[in-house]
Chains A and B, each alone.
Chain A
Amino acid sequence: MAERAPSEHWQELKELFEEAIEVPPGQREKVLARAARLDGSLAGELKTLLEAHDLEGHFLEDIVEAEGRDLVAISPDGALVGRRVGAYELLAQIGTGGMGTVFLARRTDSEYESRVAVKLIRPGVLSEEALRRFRAERQALANLSHAGIARLLDGGTTSDGLPFLVMEYVEGEPIDEYCDRRNLSVEQRLALFRSVCDAVEHAHRHMVVHRDVKPGNILVTAAGEVKLLDFGIAKLLPGAEWAEPAGLTKTAQRAMTPDYASPEQILGQRVAASSDVYSLGVLLYRLLTGKPPYTFSGGRASEIERTVCEQEPVRPSAAADDPARRKRLRGDLDDIVMQALRKEPARRYGSVEQLSGDLRRHLEGLPVRARPGTLSYRAGKFFRRHSIAAASAAVVLLVLLAGLAATIWQARIAMAQRARAEERFDDVRRLATSFLFEFHDAVQDLPGSTPARKLVVARALQYLDRLSKEAGGDASLKRDLASAYQRIGDVQGNPNNANLGDSASALASYRKALSIAEPLVSADPSDALARRTVGVIYEKMGDVLAWSGSIGAGVSAARRSLGFFEELAREAPQDAARQRSLAISHIKVGDVSGNPSFPNDGNPREALRHYRASASILEDLSGRDPSDPRTRRFLGVVHERLGTVLNELGDTAGSLEAYRRSFAIREALMADQPNNTDARRDAAIASEKIGDVLKVTGDRKGALDGYSKALAGFESLAAADPENANAARSLSIIQVKVGEALAIDGRPDEALAIYRKALSIREKLAAADPASVQARRDLLDSLTGLARFTADRRPAESRDYESRARALEKTVNSRL
Chain B
Amino acid sequence: MIDPERGSPGLDSLMPEIYDELRRLAKRAMSREGSGSTLQTTALVHEAYLRLASIKDLEVGSRPQFFSLAARMMRRILVDHARARRSAKRGGGAQRVTLSEEIAGESSNFDVLALDQALERLAAKDEKLVRIVELRFIAGLSVEETAKIVEVSPTTIKRESAMARAWLFRELTDGGARAV
Contact = CB atoms under 8 A, between A and B. Distances in A.
Given A72-B26, A119-B94, A550-B175, 9 more contacts: A6-B125, A52-B165, A71-B77, A72-B37, A97-B96, A100-B94, A233-B96, A300-B103, A556-B180
B112 A72 contact: no
List of 3 A-B pairs having minimum Cβ-Cβ separation, nearest first: A216-B92, A556-B176, A552-B175
Given A62-B110, A63-B115, A69-B40, A255 B88 contact: no
Interface in A643-682: none
A182 to B, nearest CB: 16
A137 B77 CA distance: 34
A64 B167 CA distance: 17
B179 A550 contact: yes
B100 A102 contact: no
Contacts of B111: 63, 66-67
Nearest to A251: B98
A94 interface: yes
Contacts of A255: 96-98
Interface residues of A, number: 81
Nearest to B100: A301
Contacts of B94: 95-97, 100-102, 119, 230, 232
Interface stretch (B7-15, B27-35, B62-70, B143-151): B27-35
Contacts of B51: none
B87 interface: yes
Contacts of B180: 514, 538, 541, 545, 553, 556-557, 560
20 contacts: A18-B163, A49-B163, A56-B166, A59-B110, A60-B165, A65-B40, A67-B82, A68-B40, A71-B30, A72-B26, A72-B33, A78-B34, A92-B31, A97-B95, A215-B92, A232-B96, A254-B98, A257-B99, A552-B175, A557-B180
Contacts of B41: 64, 68
Contacts of B162: 17-18, 21, 53
B95 A95 contact: yes
A94 B98 contact: no
Contacts of A555: 175-176
A372 interface: no
Contacts of A703: none
Interface in A414-448: none
A98 B29 contact: no
A348 interface: no
Contact of A74 (B30, B39, B96, B165): B30
B96 A98 contact: yes
A55 interface: yes
Interface in B132-180: 133, 137-138, 140, 159-160, 162-163, 165-170, 172-180
Interface of A: 6, 10, 14, 17-18, 21-22, 48-53, 55-56, 59-74, 78, 81, 92, 94-102, 119, 174, 212, 214-217, 230, 232-233, 254-260, 297, 299-301, 304, 507, 514, 518, 522, 538, 541, 545, 550-557, 560
Contact of A217 (B91, B98, B138, B172): B91
Among B37, B88, B90: residue with most chain A CB under 10 A: B90
B30 A67 contact: no
A257 B175 contact: no
A552 B176 contact: yes
A507 B36 CA distance: 40
Interface residues of B, number: 67
A99 B115 CA distance: 30
Nearest to B31: A92
B93 interface: yes
Nearest to A558: B176
B30 A52 contact: no
A299 B176 CA distance: 15
Contacts of B107: 299
Nearest to B98: A254
Among B29, B31, B96, B167: residue with most chain A CB under 10 A: B96
A73 B93 contact: no
B82 A74 contact: no
B124 interface: yes
A301 B35 contact: no
A6 B100 CA distance: 41
B25 to A, nearest CB: 9
Contacts of A557: 176, 179-180
Given A507-B179, A550-B175, A254 B33 contact: no
B6 to A, nearest CB: 19
Contacts of A78: 34-35
Given A60-B133, A72-B40, A10 B126 contact: yes
A100 B91 CA distance: 12
Contact of A556 (B95, B100, B177): B177
Contact of A257 (B44, B82, B91, B110): B91
B78 interface: yes
Contacts of A72: 26-27, 29-30, 33, 36-37, 40, 44
A10 B111 CA distance: 26
A810 B30 CA distance: 66
B102 interface: yes
A138 to B, nearest CB: 14
B20 interface: no
Nearest to B115: A63
B176 A64 contact: no
B99 A254 contact: yes
Contact of A61 (B100, B137, B179): B137
Contacts of A70: 81, 85
Given A62-B110, A64-B138, A69-B40, A98 B77 contact: no
Contacts of B26: 71-72
Nearest to B161: A60
